[in-house]
Structure 1
Amino acid sequence: MRLPVPGPRDVISALERGGDQVEALLGAVPRTLALLDDAERLLVRASAAIDRVREVTEAANVVVVRAGAVVEDADTQVTRVTSLLDATEPSLLRLQPTLETLAETTHPDEVKALVQLVDHLPELTARVEGDVLPVLTTLGTVAPDMHDLLTVARELNDMLAKVPGLGRIKRRIDEEEGEDATEETVR
């Protein structure tokens, strides 16, 4: 579209046509200047709009780059989780019925008790290693000593039974022990 700005030919043509045309031509100059001012303002506004769009584009590019990094991280994590699930799936499938039973039958109080037991395991382990295991290792030598002690006690019992008058005392003690044992059984 051609702008209504008079060119040199238009000026010469207007001069040939007369004074009315010169006045019309001179009247068009302020309009032309106003149009140029409007065009300059539009250019400034368009330039500002382009700058804002450029800023938004740059910000969007930063977001896209960050999103790309997040997607790469997610891909890495998905690959790791996938390989982990692939490796543990057979075991988890075999354990599933056990886990379901455990979940259905375990009471929260039992879980608390188990946690307390686990908390005490270091102390229990130390005591078993320090106190119980040494005693257990000596039990092999205690059995023959106990056997000898029982033999001596039987021999002493037989000797006491031969002492005059102690036989009656022994029978009385045996009867009392029998009565005590009977009373304890009844209780």
Structure 2
Amino acid sequence: MLPLSVPGPADVRVVLDALLDAGPRVLHLIGAAEEIVLDVGGLLDRIEATRVRADEVVAATDRTRGDAATMLADLAPLSGRLEALLDCLEPLAARAVPPAEKLLPVLDHLAETTSPREVDAMVGLIDQLPLLSQRMETQVLPILETLGTVAPDLHDLLDVSQELNEMLGKLPGMRGIKKRVEEAQAEEQQEEGRA
């Protein structure tokens, strides 16, 4: 067994000097430890705030995912209808392509030969079509329907005119008047032909 030594006053003084020398370092370590504790507390506060924001983001993401799922569920019937519509449109498009290809040269020619003035005139004509249609129905067609009844009246009028002409031709002196009228009409026709 080793003998137990009792420290003497010199030993106690060495220990006290060592403790006194270590005091400022211990105080510095305690201060540094307090700063670390404060930094850790701030870090924990920031971690908590980040966790709260992360929870909010997760909740918003869950809501968005739920909204997206609802929208997809709402779009599912529309998707089926769109597919059916596309199935209907494909044969129509296939049938429309050949005539459209045949019309392209015609459209090119029309674009090359049509002036803006002609387009404006066509637009003006199209604007007048309702009025023209109305007048055709209310004015021209009723007249055309009555032409069938006018023809016999015109024949009667021509017959009466010929009889009147024959009677006038038998009056004394009328032949000279008739001849002058015919010459005047012939001269007018010749002047009109020259103009």
Range class of TM-score, shorter chain: 0.5 to 0.7
Q: Mind listing any 5+ residue stretches in structure 1 that lack a counterpart?
A: 1-17
Question: Is 1:145 the equivalent of 2:153?
Answer: yes
Deviation of 1:31 (Å): 4.6
Deviation of 1:150 (Å): 0.9
User: Alpha-carbon deviations, 1:54-107, whole Å to 9, x = none?
Assistant: 5556666777757x959x69x959859856753245325413423333333332
Q: Measure, in 2, the Cα distance between the counterparts of 1:137 and 1:103.
A: 41
Residue 164 of structure 1 aligns to a residue in which SS? coil
Instruction: Give the residue type in structure 2 aligned to 1:90.
Output: R
Q: Measure, in 2, the Cα distance between the counterparts of 1:133 and 1:172.
A: 42
Question: Is 1:160 the equivalent of 2:168?
Answer: yes
CA-atom RMSD in angstroms: 4.0
Task: Give the number of equivalent residue pairs.
Answer: 166
Instruction: Give the match for residue 113 of structure 2.
Output: 105
Output aligned runs, 1:9-158, within 5 Å: 31-55=32-56, 82=86, 86=90, 87-95=92-100, 96-97=103-104, 98-158=106-166
Instruction: Give the match for residue 9 of structure 1.
Output: none
Question: Is 1:174 the equivalent of 2:182?
Answer: yes
The percentage of counterpart residues that share the same residue type is 36
Q: Measure, in 2, the Cα distance between the counterparts of 1:111 and 1:57.
A: 62
Deviation of 1:154 (Å): 0.9
Task: Pick the structure with greater CA Rg.
Answer: 2
Instruction: Give the residue type in structure 2 aligned to 1:140.
Output: G
TM-score by length of 1: 0.66
Note closer, same or farther for the CA distance 1:140–1:166 as it changes in structure 2 (3 Å cut): same
Deviation of 1:159 (Å): 1.5
Residue 96 of structure 2 aligns to a residue in which SS? helix
Note closer, same or farther for the CA distance 1:179–1:131 as it changes in structure 2 (3 Å cut): same
Q: Measure, in 2, the Cα distance between the counterparts of 1:112 and 1:84.
A: 38
Q: Measure, in 1, the Cα distance between the counterparts of 2:141 and 2:93.
A: 38
Q: Measure, in 1, the Cα distance between the counterparts of 2:62 and 2:47.
A: 22
Instruction: Give the residue type in structure 1 aligned to 2:110.
Output: L
Higher relative contact order (CA closer than 8 Å, sequence separation 6+): 1
